[in-house]
Copies of this chain bind each other. A is one copy, B any other.
Amino acid sequence: MTRPVRRRRAHRPAGAISPQIITSARRNIPTYDLISTEGLEQIEARSEQLLQQIGVRFVEDPEALSLFHEAGAEVQGDRVRFPPRLLRKALETAPKTFRQHARNPERTIDLGGKNVVFGPGYGMPFVSDLDGGRRYGTIRDFENLTKLVYMSPWLHHSGGTTCEPTDLPVNKRHLDMVYAHLKWSDKPFMGSVTAPERAEDSIEMARLAFGADFVDQNCVIMANINMNSPLVFDYAMSGAIRTYAAANQCPVIVPFVLGGATAPVSMIAAVTQAYSEVLVGCALAQLVRPGAPVVFGNFVTTVDLKSGSPSFGTPESALASYVAGQLARRVGLPIRCSGAFTSSKVPDGQAMMESVTALHAAVLSGANFVLQSAGWLEGALTMSYEKLAMDADYLGAMHRFLGGLSLDDEAFAMDAFAEVGPGGHFFGCGHTMRNYETAFYDAELSDTQSFETWSERGSADSVRRANRKWKEDLQRYEAPPLDAAIDESLRDFMDCKKATLPDLWH
């Protein structure tokens, strides 16, 4: 059986709970290529047309304008138009794969190629759980969620804004979030993108944890940068791209493409737009620092044309993901897709139906980094403790799925057929005994008991089982060791920074 994942054991103090170390899923199955090479060439040609004729705006970012001007783009006011091939040329310096270091070296990840890294939901102002219902997220929630993500072997990445700690000032909370990622987890993580100076603070804290020279030469922090689609980069966004790239850290360029709102209602047009926006953002990073890691972000979905609200996990969005994956491979960039998308308010059937649709598309499209792969509810407004557990369990199944099927002699089990014969049972045969331990993914939250047993044990649906699971995980949690001097330097940095800033709440 092909091992779908790399497993390495951490050396840990006796007695501590060390979650299993899996640094990524490994794709041993083909990508799903939805459209022909000719179709992809059509998209690329239309994208060049769009970038040359319409172009993009960089709002209040003269530095970005001047970088593109120097590279040969046509700049008029804050509008930039690109001659054919300019962006593709700029992207030649972008790495096809790169390494993001975690503070525990055993959790360092490789982004690109056949690796599939899963990270949790991102950006939710609300949290919910079965006991407390839906409420604004706090730093306590953020810490809990960071711990829960740390506990799951199937989430390789700690994510970024797993929920908004709304009890902290908006201009300071990034410090607490970066600190929590470093303190309560040892997985790779993402920094702040809400303003260039907050991006700089995130990087500075990474320098304290990893050493400044190391950070200059290695990626230790990623940043998820959503554009103002269609075709606009605000200063906060382009500034953050420049800040991370200058520090050799990785911006993930994510258009915010909702067909029917921020993009046309046709998915091919929406993908063409998103592709164009990604090229611009990634090229900007390369112009700032050639060779800096960048990621092609894919976020294309639709709006419900009755209500105007975004829809998630739709068939149109799944189709768009496959095309985005094909385009990313052609341009040679690692791609970020999204996983557990849904508009549902609760982790019900709709939520999982939409989430699995989006996740399958991500996985088969060849995604290297699947952010938003656990916990999402309500179109990224709510992070659900229960859904986090449900999605994470399903990500384990995706590890097995990505591992594919072995075709060696042991897999064909001809000895089992000879032993069992027509009408027999394979449960106790030699082949089963040799292979049962690794044969199937053992979903922790999926119930396969009889109706009678399930009823006797309280008829718990998957949300109630997930509720038990995350509480047990928090109970079992032990913090990964963090050097006391580093911890102190991080806290000092936060305290100093906070002392220099007023409390802003909007």
Contact = CB atoms under 8 A, between A and B. Distances in A.
A489 interface: no
A58 to B, nearest CB: 10
A259 B405 CA distance: 13
Contacts of A425: 261-262
Interface in A219-265: 228, 230-232, 259-265
Contact of A442 (B273, B306, B413, B441): B306
Interface stretch (A34-42, A95-103, A291-299): A34-42
Contact of A265 (B318, B412, B440): B440
A495 interface: no
Interface string A348-360: 1111111111001
B46 A414 contact: yes
Given A56-B422, A230-B422, A422-B79, A449 B266 contact: no
Interface in A260-288: 260-269, 272-273
A397 B315 CA distance: 6
Interface in A194-228: 228
Contacts of A15: none
Given A345-B454, A350-B462, A422-B57, A397 B33 contact: no
Nearest to A382: B451
B345 A347 contact: no
Contacts of A346: 459, 461
A316 interface: yes
A260 B262 CA distance: 50
Interface in A16-40: 29-30, 32-35, 39
Contacts of A49: 414
Nearest to A344: B447
